[in-house]
Structure formats: structure tokens, C-alpha cells
Amino acid sequence: MPQDSEKVTPRARLMDAATRLFCRNGINATGIDAIVAEAGTAKTTLYKIFKSKGDLVEAVLETEGRSWRGWFLAAIEAPSTPREKLDAIFPALKKWFGEEGYTGCVFINAVGEHPKDETRLRELAIQHKSFVINHITDIAKAAGASRPDFLAHQIGLLMDGAIVAALVTRDPGVADAAGQAAAALLDGACGPAKPKRKRTVVLQGGAAALAKEDLSVVE
């Protein structure tokens, strides 16, 4: 059901508009006039709520970061064992890469298009990355890694590389290559992944002869 635009707050309209434009065109290429036109608000409204474009940028990054982390952590926490959680990282990223609106990581993009001496956006990016790496470290520790923090940083580098490669190539399959590299790291740090248990299906009655073919299904 269409949302009544009159019931959406000016702040929400500005946030939605800025997010779309920043992700599609970049932060530096998006001016205040374009944002307020997209949001259907006045320029004075933007400055009343956010004070400056910089404040709006920070608000967008923080909101997008929370949203992405919520999705990502839910995806890797779905499996039951620590190793399965770690193995779920790159399949989750592959789904993200395959989305029609995929535009890469907002933090990598923001830092990449600003001067090297810019500090605030770099701080926000580091906070986001640290949150993710710390969570992966906890899972790696539970998986038995002898140096879980080091392993988490290795996985983080593979994640960042895959995120950028997927943006450049538009090929979600780069996640498979990164996942294979991560699996080798995990095998070395935590031991080989245990094969999934199988149970033999024994057919009865007239189909008993088929049981000789050792039919099995994964639990």
C-alpha cells in the first residue's frame, strides 16, 4: 500500500533522498539542491534539521551502517555451529552483490572520494569495520582459532576486497573466490570443516533392491 507522503517526516524524506543520491552518484557529486528537490522539502528545512551537509552525511552513514550490520549479522548467525557461521559470510555477501541496487559499501565509497586527510568519515568507517571484525573475532574464538583476532582481520580483508571487486566487475561470483580463500584460512586456523552427517535411507518392500545402491540424504 503506498505510503502517505504527508505522514512521512521531513527528516525521513531528507534521509531517504540523501541515501539514494549518495549511493547512486556519490557524496561530493550530490549537492544540497539535488537533495531537497528529491525529498520535496525546502533548503531551510534541511539546515534546520541537520545544520550542514556534513551532518546529513554522518546521519546517512550511521543509519546505513546499522541497517547493514543488522542484516549481515543475522545472516551469519543463522547457522548453528561457529564454523558454519564463518562459512556463511561469503554466501551472504554474494546475495548482497547480486542485488539490482548494489552500490558497494557506503563507508568505503565515502572515504575513497574524500581527501586523504579527512578524519571524521574515516572514524565512522573504522567504527563500522571494528564492530564487524569484533563480531567475527568472537565467532572465530568459539570455532577454536588460536589467533581469532588475526583470523578475523584476514577475513575482513577478503570481505573488503570482494565488496570492491563486485562493485567494479558487477559479478557476484567474486564472493565465491573470496569464500574459497577464506575456507583455506579457516581450515588452517580452526581445522578442516566437518563433513555434514548423512543417514542411509533403506527402502522397504518392493523397492528393497534399490537400497543396495547406497542411497543417502543429508540431514
Q: What is 88-141 written as a DSSP string?
A: THHHHHHHHHTSTT----HHHHHHHTS-TT--HHHHHHHHHHHHHHHHHHHHHH
- Structure confidence by residue, pLDDT tens digits, 21-74: 999 999 999 999 999 999 999 999 999 999 999 999 999 999 999 999 999 999
The whole-angstrom separation of Cα 4 and Cα 9 is 11
94, 161: one domain: yes
Give me the number of domains the chain comprises.
2
Longest dimension (CA), the chain: 80
What distance in Å separates the CA atoms of residue 62 and residue 68, rounded to the nearest whole number? 10
Position 129 pLDDT exceeds 90: yes
Residue that is written with C-alpha cell 573475532 in the block: 137
Share of residues in the chain with pLDDT > 90 (%): 80
pLDDT band at 123 (very low <50, low <70, confident <90, very high): very high
For residue 23, give the C-alpha cell.
549511493
Residue 168 resides in a domain: yes
Stretch 180-198: mean pLDDT? 85
What are the pLDDT digits (tens) for 80-114?
999 999 999 999 999 999 999 999 999 999 999 98
Closest CA to 178 of 198, 196, 157, 148: 157
Q: Report yes or no on whether pTM surpasses 0.85.
A: no
The rounded distance, in Å, linking the Cα atoms of 93 and 91 is 5
Are residues 160 and 126 part of one domain?
yes
Same domain, 181 and 126: yes
CATH code of the domain in which 39 resides: 1.10.10.60
Average pLDDT over residues 185-198: 80
Question: Is the separation of the CB atoms in 102 and 167 below 8 Å?
Answer: yes
Q: How many CB atoms lie within 10 A of CB 101?
A: 7
Same domain, 3 and 67: no
What is the reported pLDDT for 204? 55
Between vectors from CA 71 to CA 125 and to CA 55, what angle results, nearest 5°? 40
Residue 65 is predicted with a pLDDT of: 96
Q: What is the rounded average pLDDT for all residues in the chain?
A: 89
Range of the domain at 184: 61-190
Instruction: State which amino acid sits at residue 17.
Output: A
Confidence of residue 118 (pLDDT cuts 50, 70, 90): confident
